[in-house]
Amino acid sequence: MEPPAKRRKSKVDTAPPRKINSRDSTRVPEKTIEKAVKTEPVAQKTRRAPARKIKDEDGSFKVEPPSNWDTIYATVKKMREANPTAPVDTMGCAELYWRASSPRDRRFQTLVALMLSSQTKDTVTAVAMQRLHTELGDGEAPLIETSMIKEEPDEDTFKLEKPLRDSTLNLENILAVSPERLNELIGKVGFHNNKTKYIKAAAIILRDQYQSDIPSTAEELMKLPGVGPKMAYLCMSAAWGKHEGIGVDVHVHRITNLWGWNKTKTPEDTRKALESWLPKDKWHEINKLLVGLGQTVCLPVGRKCGDCDLAGTKLCKSEIRGLVSSRKVDAKEESVEGGVEVKIEGE
């Protein structure tokens, strides 16, 4: 056998490495790059800001409204007016009085509807009010002469009964009815046991202290059992036509916080925050506006952002991007001069 071949040694260049002249390099110095690139100012993004207090030079404070609030408000108002199909539009508490009743009884009916509405859907409240209007007392309300009817019933409102017969829901019948019977009539509403006690107790107070009518101030209304700020201010608007405060329920509280108008933890905090900057001519309508939005589009669970006119406008900071509209769309062809026009109609 032959011995293994020996490895050959290669010559290693021990000379120091040659210095590269910077003139020979093709690399552009960093300073040159900085000069070559033109820097353009980045457009500042409009920052959404909630309402905030600003101190004036004289030491007083004023509240600056949230950014773009008026655009958001106008957009939602237009959307709601175009499609008034929310339960609150036809079965809200302001719609549940009896058209043929006296003004005093109407005010009392509005107060009772508001007391029943807490933690209860509008549809359930409307059914309970229907029973009170027709089944209290002996269930046989007296007929009303046509000349006594102050206004014609609105065809778009919830049909309670033919307006030629008076309602059985009045203060006298509430005072006379037994708690058990009243509880039976309103048994579908939330917390009906407590509401039975509140309504009976309130009726006694109204008889003894307010000449069988309801109080004409929010402060006095809030002294009644079971009546809080929301009910009091809504009652003042619906029953007396006085808009002294904003009725803030869970929908108004939730949606205004979603929009970033305020950072509040309770509906009462939201009311105070809104009243500090919202124009007073909107205090009455904002409740129905946002309650309807919360019932149909901006739901507590499963918001339908694709159906909202604020979608894609970057006005709503809580928008869930990418949601497609759930509204049905129909394409109709119509013959027009020069061809066929296709019209897209959404429900």
The residues assigned a catalytic role are 230
The distance in angstroms from the start CA to the end CA of the chain is 98
H or E element at residue 258: helix 250-258
Contact between residue 248 and residue 267 where contact means Cβ atoms under 8 Å apart: yes
The residue with tokens 């809200």 is 92
Q: Cα dist. 115→97, 229, 230 in Å? A: 13, 12, 10
Residue/partner pairs of 205-214 with CB below 8 Å, 24 or more apart: 206/108, 206/171, 207/171, 207/175, 212/104, 212/171, 212/172, 213/104, 213/107, 213/108, 214/107, 214/108, 214/111, 214/239
Q: How far is CA 304 from the centre of its chain?
A: 14
Give percent helix, percent strand, percent coil of the chain, each to the nearest 5.
40, 5, 50
